[in-house]
Amino acid sequence: MTRSLVMVPRWAGSPDTDFYPWLTAKVRTAPALFDDVRALAMPTPSAPTVDGWVSTVASAVGPVPAPSTVFLGHSVGCQALMRYLVTLPPGHTVEGALFVAGWFEIDTPWDTLRPWLDTPLDFDRVRAALRRCVVLLSDSDPYTSDWRRNTRLFEERLGAEVRLIPGGRHFNNPQEPAVLEVLQERFASPE
């Protein structure tokens, strides 16, 4: 069984930014956590659209990903992944998702972000598609200051395990040890 890690970057992110190259190298180091690791290049990263990003994920992994797939979303990448998971056939599950700096609300939304906030999401379908869901939040995220509410929303809507990283901001560093640690602890092998 081939285990895959598929990463969807943040707003204005690319496979070469933030922690994605570092994490790719780390999870490929023996003993490798995943057989296949990909950070996706998303269309119009500075103005992501729901349809554009969901269709890009579907093109990259197919309409029905292997059950041994783990998704990692970063910020708006979490939203794109959740919306992609809704499109899976009922009853199909993947190994899980790690949502880094995920959100359902933003302190000061801008116009191009509105569709991500205003387009309804079927949380039951998202939850049903994931065998495991872990969320990394920060108590100093400049976009979502109310981490307590954000934690509650992920727990209530997705049954997620939420981990708070003090001082993590928006997880934009070239190295993010907390992300690697969660992958090693919660996604080292299929459950």
Which phi and psi angles does 52 have, rounded to 5°? -65, -45
CB of 95 within 8 A of CB of 67? yes
pLDDT digits (tens, 9 = 90+) for 154-169: 999 999 999 999 999 9
Helices (H), the chain: 20-28, 50-61, 76-86, 114-118, 123-129, 147-158, 177-186
pLDDT digits (tens, 9 = 90+) for 51-95: 999 999 999 998 899 999 999 999 999 999 999 999 999 999 999
| Residues constituting the chain | 191
What share of the chain in percent tops pLDDT 90? 93
pLDDT at position 85: 97
Q: Is the pLDDT of residue 48 over 70?
A: yes
Structural domains present in the chain: 4-186 (3.40.50.1820)
pTM, full prediction? 0.96
